[in-house]
C-alpha cells in the first residue's frame, strides 16, 4: 500500500455496494421530506470563514480546532470547508431574502468537514441531511420536526432510537443561569478537575455533562436552567411537549442536553442510539431564533436539525439492513461480428422499452459470457451467434431457474416476450 496514493485520513471512498445503499437511503429521505413540504436547497461547500465564526461561536471546539480553514492563494480570501450546514443555509436565506414574504421549509444533503480524530461514526468528511424551517415562531414547528424524526425511523425500519429534549431558554435567561452556575462551581472549585476548570468560563454548561463520577453529585445539585426560564419559555417548551404527548412519542427531558453550537435557544433535541458506541447521536437540532439577525438579516425565528448519514446507515446495517444489488433485466451474450452488430441493435431496442440491459463487452467464449450473465443477476440471457445473426433472431433464455427454458425469437419480438414474462412472474409473487 503506497503511502502517497491514499485518501485523506477520515475521508472515505464510498464504493458501489455502499453507494447503492446510500441511494436507497436518500430516496427514502427525499420522499419523507416531501411528505412534510420541505424543498431542496443546494449550497456551496466552501463559505467565507467569518460566517462560521459568527454563527457557530468563536470559542466552540468546532471553530477553535476543527475547521478546515485556508486562505485562497489567488485572492487572499479566508475560506472554510463547511463544518455544518445551518450557517450557509441562513446566509443564503438572508442573501436571497428567502423568508421575507413567507416562512420557508428547506432541506439539503451533503458533505461536511471537521478535523477530528476519526472513529466509527465520526469522520473528517461526513454527510448530513439538514432540515431548516425559517420564519416559524411557535412550538408547533419544533414539535413537527421531532415527529418527522419518529416517522423517518419507522420508514427506515429502525427502532431503539431514543428522544431527548431540553429547553435552553432565551439568551438573557441563559446568561442568568450561567452566572449562577459559574458562581456555584467557583464555590466548589476544590472539586473541579482540570477539564472542568478549563471550561468554567468558556462553556460551563458542558461541565454538567462530565463523566467524572467525582463531579456528578456536585453537578446534580447545581443550579438548573429550567428554574431560570420565564413564563414564555416554559410555555413554549410545554407547547412542544403537548404535541409529543398527543402523538404518543416517548421522550425524556435531559437537563444536561446542550448543543455544541452557540446559536441555539429554547427547544433543543437529540435522537440517540446505544448501538453505535461513542457516537450515538444520529440526529440533533433545535431552535435558533437569533441567528438570522446575528448574521445581519431581519430578525427571523428559525428551527432546524441535522442527521448524520454515516451513522444512520451504520445503524441500518446494524439492524440487518442489506442492500439488494440491482440486477439487470437482460444480459446479452454474443459472438462474431454480425452477432455483435445485431446485439447492439437488440440492446438499444430493449432499452427503448424501458428494460435494463447489460450488453456483454470484451469477448470471450459463450461459456464465460454465460457465467457473467448469471453472475450479473439478470433475469434473462439473450444469446446471439452467427446462426441467429443470419436470420435476425436471438435465443431468449430464462436464467432464474435450473436449466431455464430457451426459445428462439425475432430480435424485434424480444422486448414484448420479456416484458410479458416479467409481468407474469410479478403476478405470481403477489
Partner RNA sequence: GCGGCAUUAGCUCAGUCGGUAGAGCACUGGAUUGUGAUUCCAGGUGUCACCGGUUCGAUCCCGGUAUGUCGCCCCA
* Residues from 175 through 234 that contact RNA (CB under 7 A): 195, 199, 206, 209-212
* Residues from 405 through 424 that contact RNA (CB under 7 A): 406
* Residues from 264 through 293 that contact RNA (CB under 7 A): 270, 277-284
CA 99 – CA 57 distance, rounded (Å):
23
- Residue closer to RNA (CB basis): 60 or 167: 60
- Which residue of 163, 219, 307, 359 would you call a contact of RNA, by CB under 7 A? 307
**Three cell numbers written together for 323:** 442492500
Smallest distance from the beta carbon of 2 to RNA, in angstroms? 7
- Residue closer to RNA (CB basis): 49 or 395: 395
Closest CA to 303 of 316, 321, 285, 322: 285
CA 373 – CA 420 distance, rounded (Å):
21
* Residues from 354 through 373 that contact RNA (CB under 7 A): 364-368, 370-373
* Residues from 91 through 130 that contact RNA (CB under 7 A): 114-123, 126, 128
- Residue closer to RNA (CB basis): 357 or 370: 370
Q: Is 334 in contact with 385 (CB distance < 8 Å)?
A: yes
Beta pairing class for 265-272 and 162-167: antiparallel
**DSSP line for 272-310:** E-SSSTT--EEEEEEE-TTHHHHTTSPP--EEEEEEEHH
Query: Would you count residue 329 as binding RNA (CB under 7 A)?
Result: no
Phi-psi region of 138 (alpha: psi -120 to 50; beta: other; left: phi over 0): beta
Query: Would you count residue 404 as binding RNA (CB under 7 A)?
Result: yes
- Residue closer to RNA (CB basis): 55 or 141: 55
Question: What is the chain's percent helix, strand, coil content, to nearest 5?
Answer: 45, 20, 35
Closest CA to 142 of 266, 324, 276, 31: 266
Smallest distance from the beta carbon of 182 to RNA, in angstroms? 16
Smallest distance from the beta carbon of 76 to RNA, in angstroms? 25
Query: Would you count residue 26 as binding RNA (CB under 7 A)?
Result: no
* Residues from 54 through 93 that contact RNA (CB under 7 A): 60-62, 66, 84
Smallest distance from the beta carbon of 279 to RNA, in angstroms? 5
**DSSP line for 139-152:** HHHHHHHHHHHHHH
* Residues from 247 through 266 that contact RNA (CB under 7 A): 259-261
- Which residue of 386, 412, 413, 420 would you call a contact of RNA, by CB under 7 A? 386
Amino acid at each position: 500500500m503506497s503511502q502517497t496514493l491514499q485518501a485523506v485520513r477520515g475521508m472515505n471512498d464510498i464504493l458501489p455496494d455502499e453507494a447503492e445503499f446510500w441511494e436507497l437511503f436518500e430516496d427514502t429521505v427525499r420522499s419523507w421530506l416531501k411528505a412534510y413540504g420541505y424543498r431542496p436547497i443546494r449550497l456551496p461547500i466552501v463559505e467565507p470563514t467569518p460566517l462560521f465564526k459568527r454563527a457557530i461561536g468563536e470559542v466552540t471546539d468546532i471553530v477553535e480546532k476543527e475547521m478546515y480553514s485556508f486562505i485562497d492563494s489567488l485572492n487572499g480570501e479566508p475560506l472554510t470547508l463547511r463544518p455544518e450546514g445551518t450557517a450557509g443555509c441562513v446566509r443564503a436565506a438572508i442573501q436571497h431574502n428567502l423568508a421575507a414574504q413567507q416562512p420557508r421549509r428547506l432541506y439539503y444533503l451533503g458533505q461536511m468537514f471537521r478535523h477530528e480524530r476519526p472513529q466509527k461514526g465520526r469522520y473528517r468528511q461526513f454527510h448530513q441531511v439538514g432540515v431548516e424551517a425559517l420564519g416559524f415562531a411557535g412550538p408547533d414547528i419544533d414539535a413537527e420536526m421531532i415527529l418527522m424524526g419518529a416517522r423517518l425511523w419507522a420508514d427506515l425500519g429502525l427502532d431503539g432510537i431514543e428522544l431527548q429534549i431540553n429547553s435552553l431558554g432565551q439568551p438573557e435567561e441563559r446568561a442568568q443561569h450561567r452566572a449562577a452556575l459559574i458562581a456555584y462551581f467557583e464555590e466548589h472549585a476544590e472539586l473541579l478537575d482540570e477539564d472542568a476548570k478549563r471550561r468554567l468560563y468558556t462553556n460551563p454548561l458542558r461541565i454538567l455533562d462530565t463523566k467524572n463520577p467525582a463531579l456528578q453529585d456536585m453537578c446534580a445539585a447545581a443550579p438548573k436552567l429550567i428554574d431560570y426560564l420565564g413564563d414564555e419559555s416554559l410555555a413554549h417548551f410545554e407547547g412542544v411537549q403537548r404535541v409529543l404527548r398527543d402523538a404518543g412519542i416517548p421522550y425524556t427531558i435531559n437537563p444536561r442536553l446542550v448543543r455544541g453550537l452557540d446559536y441555539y435557544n429554547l427547544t433543543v433535541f437529540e435522537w440517540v442510539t446505544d448501538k453505535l458506541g461513542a457516537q450515538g447521536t444520529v440526529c440533533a437540532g433545535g431552535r435558533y431564533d437569533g441567528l438570522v439577525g446575528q448574521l445581519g438579516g431581519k430578525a427571523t425565528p428559525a428551527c432546524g436539525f441535522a442527521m448524520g448519514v454515516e451513522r444512520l446507515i451504520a445503524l441500518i446495517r446494524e439492524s440487518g439492513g442489506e442492500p439488494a444489488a440491482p440486477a439487470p433485466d437482460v444480459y446479452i451474450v454474443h459472438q462474431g461480428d454480425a452477432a455483435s452488430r445485431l446485439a447492439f441493435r437488440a440492446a438499444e431496442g430493449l432499452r427503448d422499452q424501458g428494460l435494463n440491459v447489460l450488453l456483454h463487452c470484451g469477448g470471450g467464449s459463450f461459456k464465460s459470457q454465460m457465467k457473467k450473465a448469471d453472475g450479473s443477476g439478470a433475469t434473462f440471457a439473450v444469446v446471439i451467434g452467427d446462426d441467429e445473426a443470419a436470420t435476425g433472431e436471438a435465443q431468449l433464455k430464462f436464467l432464474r431457474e435450473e436449466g431455464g427454458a430457451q426459445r428462439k425469437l425475432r430480435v424485434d419480438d424480444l422486448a414484448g416476450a420479456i416484458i410479458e414474462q416479467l409481468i407474469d412472474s410479478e403476478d405470481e409473487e403477489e
